[in-house]
Chain A
Amino acid sequence: MNRKLKGASRRSVLQQFGAAAIGLSFTGGLSGCSPAAQRERVVNFYNWDTYIGPTTLEDFQAAAGARVEMSLFANNDELFARLRAGNPGFDVIVPSNEFVTRMAQANMLMPLDRTKIPNFENLLPDFKDASFDPGRQYSMPYTWLVLGIGYRKSAMLNGETPDSWRFLFDSDQYAGRIALLSESADLIRLGAKYMGLSVNGIPDEALKQIEDMFIRQKPRIKAFHGDNGQDLLASGEIDIVLEYNGDMAQLIAAEGGDQFGFVVPREGTLINSDCLCIPAGAPNPDDAHALINFLLDAEAGEKITTEIQYPTPNAAVAARMGEAYQNNPVIFPPSDVMGKSEYGAFEGDDRSRVYEEMFTRISAA
């Protein structure tokens, strides 16, 4: 298998030399290469940064015979903008819950063929269906994650745990030492959560109050970060930050990481789930299904989860992970705050624009 693959890839390099390739395909025919092996199979995987196991792609190539070309995006907006004018050749993408709905509504996703994804059975029952993708028609869950508060333990007043959004949104206790994620929708929805409202269907009067609250808080905020809050915390620039639990778990697991903590505030938070999807017009849907199935495999998933430290929606993977992972309160926040947490639903593009304009006003104020 392996040797055959090598031959195929060498051939495809030579094919680019035109005349030389003719001679070679002739000898290639003689040596009995199967037609399927003539062209190297490639899966174009568009993923988040630091979101894969160290050997996952090689393992897939060894198992399925297709090479994975991975490129990276920084956020859902970048992913959406790249695919907006048509799929430039990606086979597997990893949008978050809200964007699964948005892209499915815009006919940008291909329905998944469940018969090609037998590892679906590995998933936890809660993740076999999803409100943002009824019947899991277009998406398979890859990870789930929550936003919470990352902090430097030594900088907290009287060693307290900052277990309320108040410390980030509505208090001068850590003035000048705060960084917030620069995602308009997340900020505004968490503002609603702080006020005791649902993150979805926020009434207009509440939106006004949330905007005023952030404008009041702005002089105390040091920076809006583009998902590098854990780096700001580690470099000593700030003491308290709005971040994802997975990013904070990576920082805490690193050397010297025990000086940092992470807490999901008692008001509850936003749950996100990054999902594996196949964009419409994918050049290689067969291998795309194979890759998705492989990523949901127990052993492959274990390697990924060990590396990225995000919560897994995969029962088979969770069973293989050690206790240090299973009982990590950063990765799996306590059930009482999880009970108060919600997925942010896609509420239409007009709603996103309202949030965006609020953020522009907050930044300009």
Chain B
Amino acid sequence: MEQSWRRAKAAFAAIALPPMVWLLLFFLIPLAVIWAYSFGENTGPVTIDLTGTFSNYLRAIEPIYLEIFGKSVVIAGITTLLCLVIGFPVALAIAFASPRAKIWLLLLIMLPFWTNLLIRTFALIAVLREHGYVNFVLEWLWNNASWVMTFAGLQPLGEFEPLKLLYNNAAVVIGLVYVHLPFMVLPLYSALDRMDRSLMEASLDLGAGHLRTILLVVVPLAAPGIASGVLITFIPALGAYLTPDLLGGPDSQMIANVIERQFKRANDWPFGAALSFLLMYLTFIAIALQALLQRRSEVRRI
């Protein structure tokens, strides 16, 4: 019989206390300090007076910063959508693979985490730049096609123009999708793996095609997994700063880049703190939306 945790209060406390103390000391208290800074004013290069002013927030909601917030939401949104579109078939394939293959496939998904984000991003630069591997392959194909055309007595193709894959917004999205794809695949996989297969068989037996079965049976059943995958992809993508910094062009500034510069170059911690907390409120809204959607889908199921 299952025992309620209320019956074993001492054991519960012993297990729960260390992580809670950790959370308090190293997460909540520092966060509270930054939160307090967001109501402060700079009085010198290293001194901040906590005056309770709202001026930092007023500045943070000026159109220029709202625009950057908006742009960050759009980029994170596109990233999440692409992750979902790419990640869903991958998760489906892993869920239906043989148990042996499953382990290897999951390992492949996790493999990038064994390398530092910075190194992965630099590797992506080597792949995408004008004299990078993608352009090498394209140039090889182009030159061969050109040779074949000359051979066939046609005009050869012109000079190969390398694609500009780096230093633009598309590069930022590619980088973010690459980094965040595992965050999407893993929750999708765990939702799909637990799914009752007989429901799919029933759908197929009763005459629905494969696509219809996936859209009308599998996707609704995997909805909680999709929702949590979307959330844990969207939130870090929204706060990304390394990827836009290294892969982006002069147009690719995201809100986290602005925040970083407040803490460094501008030496304006109160304003940086206010921007950070606005970003956090956006995150809270996203979490609340997810909870709302999940509750609605549960109600529908009952």
Residues from chain B with a CB closer than 8 A to the CB of A81 are 263-264, 267
Contact of B249 among A108, A223, A349 (CB under 8 A): A223
B164's nearest neighbour on chain A, judged by CB, is: A176
Within the assembled complex, what's the spacing in Å between the Cα atoms of A1 and B83?
62
Whether A193 sits at the interface, judged by CB under 8 Å, is no
Check if A106 sits within 8 Å of B45, measured CB to CB.
Answer: yes
Contact of A364 among B64, B164, B262, B266 (CB under 8 A): B64
Check if B258 sits within 8 Å of A360, measured CB to CB.
Answer: yes
Whether A120 sits at the interface, judged by CB under 8 Å, is no
Whether A51 sits at the interface, judged by CB under 8 Å, is no
Whether A152 sits at the interface, judged by CB under 8 Å, is no
Chain B, 222-278, CB within 8 A of any chain A CB: 245, 248-251, 253, 257-258, 261-268
Whether A226 sits at the interface, judged by CB under 8 Å, is yes
Residues from chain A with a CB closer than 8 A to the CB of B258 are 360
Assuming the A-B contacts A237-B166, A356-B266, are A221 and B46 also in contact, with contact meaning beta carbons closer than 8 angstroms in the complex? no
Assuming the A-B contacts A226-B245, A236-B131, A237-B129, are A352 and B267 also in contact, with contact meaning beta carbons closer than 8 angstroms in the complex? yes
Convert A127-153 into 0s and 1s, putting 1 for each residue whose CB lies closer than 8 angstroms to a CB of B: 000000000000000000000000000
Contact of B251 among A103, A185, A359, A363 (CB under 8 A): A363
Check if B267 sits within 8 Å of A363, measured CB to CB.
Answer: no
Check if B68 sits within 8 Å of A235, measured CB to CB.
Answer: no
Whether B130 sits at the interface, judged by CB under 8 Å, is yes
Per the CB 8 Å criterion, the residue count for chain B at the interface is 30
Closest chain-B Cβ to A260's Cβ sits at a distance in Å of 15
Within the assembled complex, what's the spacing in Å between the Cα atoms of A226 and B268?
20
| Inter-chain CB contacts under 8 Å: number | 84
Chain A, 336-359, CB within 8 A of any chain B CB: 349, 352-353, 356-357, 359
Whether B190 sits at the interface, judged by CB under 8 Å, is no
Check if A356 sits within 8 Å of B45, measured CB to CB.
Answer: no
Whether A105 sits at the interface, judged by CB under 8 Å, is yes
Assuming the A-B contacts A349-B45, A353-B268, are A364 and B253 also in contact, with contact meaning beta carbons closer than 8 angstroms in the complex? yes
A179's nearest neighbour on chain B, judged by CB, is: B167
Check if B250 sits within 8 Å of A78, measured CB to CB.
Answer: no
B63's nearest neighbour on chain A, judged by CB, is: A364
Residues from chain A with a CB closer than 8 A to the CB of B201 are none
A108's nearest neighbour on chain B, judged by CB, is: B46
Whether A222 sits at the interface, judged by CB under 8 Å, is yes
Check if A361 sits within 8 Å of B64, measured CB to CB.
Answer: yes
Residues from chain B with a CB closer than 8 A to the CB of A80 are 264, 267
Residues from chain A with a CB closer than 8 A to the CB of B251 are 218, 363
Chain A, 205-253, CB within 8 A of any chain B CB: 218, 221-224, 226, 235-237
Within the assembled complex, what's the spacing in Å between the Cα atoms of A85 and B37?
14
Closest chain-A Cβ to B129's Cβ sits at a distance in Å of 6
Whether A69 sits at the interface, judged by CB under 8 Å, is no
Contact of A105 among B45, B64, B262, B263 (CB under 8 A): B45
Whether A184 sits at the interface, judged by CB under 8 Å, is yes
Contact of B250 among A218, A236, A360 (CB under 8 A): A218
Assuming the A-B contacts A218-B250, A237-B129, are A77 and B265 also in contact, with contact meaning beta carbons closer than 8 angstroms in the complex? yes
Within the assembled complex, what's the spacing in Å between the Cα atoms of A364 and B263?
19
Check if B45 sits within 8 Å of A353, measured CB to CB.
Answer: no
Within the assembled complex, what's the spacing in Å between the Cα atoms of A349 and B131?
41
Assuming the A-B contacts A102-B45, A106-B45, A353-B268, are A224 and B64 also in contact, with contact meaning beta carbons closer than 8 angstroms in the complex? no
A357's nearest neighbour on chain B, judged by CB, is: B266
Residues from chain A with a CB closer than 8 A to the CB of B64 are 360-361, 364
Check if B46 sits within 8 Å of A106, measured CB to CB.
Answer: yes
Check if B167 sits within 8 Å of A223, measured CB to CB.
Answer: yes
Contact of A237 among B46, B130, B265 (CB under 8 A): B130
Whether B158 sits at the interface, judged by CB under 8 Å, is no
Within the assembled complex, what's the spacing in Å between the Cα atoms of A108 and B263?
18
Residues from chain A with a CB closer than 8 A to the CB of B45 are 102-103, 105-106, 349
Whether A39 sits at the interface, judged by CB under 8 Å, is no
Whether A6 sits at the interface, judged by CB under 8 Å, is no
Whether A114 sits at the interface, judged by CB under 8 Å, is no
Check if A352 sits within 8 Å of B265, measured CB to CB.
Answer: yes
Assuming the A-B contacts A105-B45, A223-B249, A363-B250, are A235 and B129 also in contact, with contact meaning beta carbons closer than 8 angstroms in the complex? yes
B166's nearest neighbour on chain A, judged by CB, is: A237
Check if A235 sits within 8 Å of B265, measured CB to CB.
Answer: no
Assuming the A-B contacts A222-B249, A363-B253, are A106 and B44 also in contact, with contact meaning beta carbons closer than 8 angstroms in the complex? yes
Within the assembled complex, what's the spacing in Å between the Cα atoms of A1 and B42?
51
Within the assembled complex, what's the spacing in Å between the Cα atoms of A174 and B241?
28
Whether A84 sits at the interface, judged by CB under 8 Å, is yes
Within the assembled complex, what's the spacing in Å between the Cα atoms of A75 and B268?
17
Chain B, 171-211, CB within 8 A of any chain A CB: none
Within the assembled complex, what's the spacing in Å between the Cα atoms of A84 and B248?
29
Residues from chain A with a CB closer than 8 A to the CB of B130 are 235-237
Closest chain-B Cβ to A176's Cβ sits at a distance in Å of 8
Closest chain-B Cβ to A100's Cβ sits at a distance in Å of 13
Whether B67 sits at the interface, judged by CB under 8 Å, is yes
B residues bordering A, Cβ < 8 Å?
A: 42, 44-46, 64, 67-68, 71, 129-131, 164, 166-167, 245, 248-251, 253, 257-258, 261-268
Given contacts A81-B267, A236-B130, A360-B258, 4 further A-B contacts (CB under 8 A): A103-B45, A237-B131, A353-B267, A356-B262
Which 5 residue pairs across A and B have the least CB separation, nearest first? A77-B264, A356-B266, A106-B45, A363-B253, A223-B167
Mind listing 26 A-B residue pairs with CB under 8 Å?
A80-B267, A81-B264, A84-B267, A103-B45, A176-B164, A185-B265, A218-B251, A221-B249, A222-B249, A223-B248, A223-B249, A223-B250, A226-B245, A235-B130, A236-B129, A237-B167, A349-B44, A349-B268, A352-B265, A353-B266, A353-B267, A353-B268, A360-B68, A361-B64, A363-B251, A364-B71
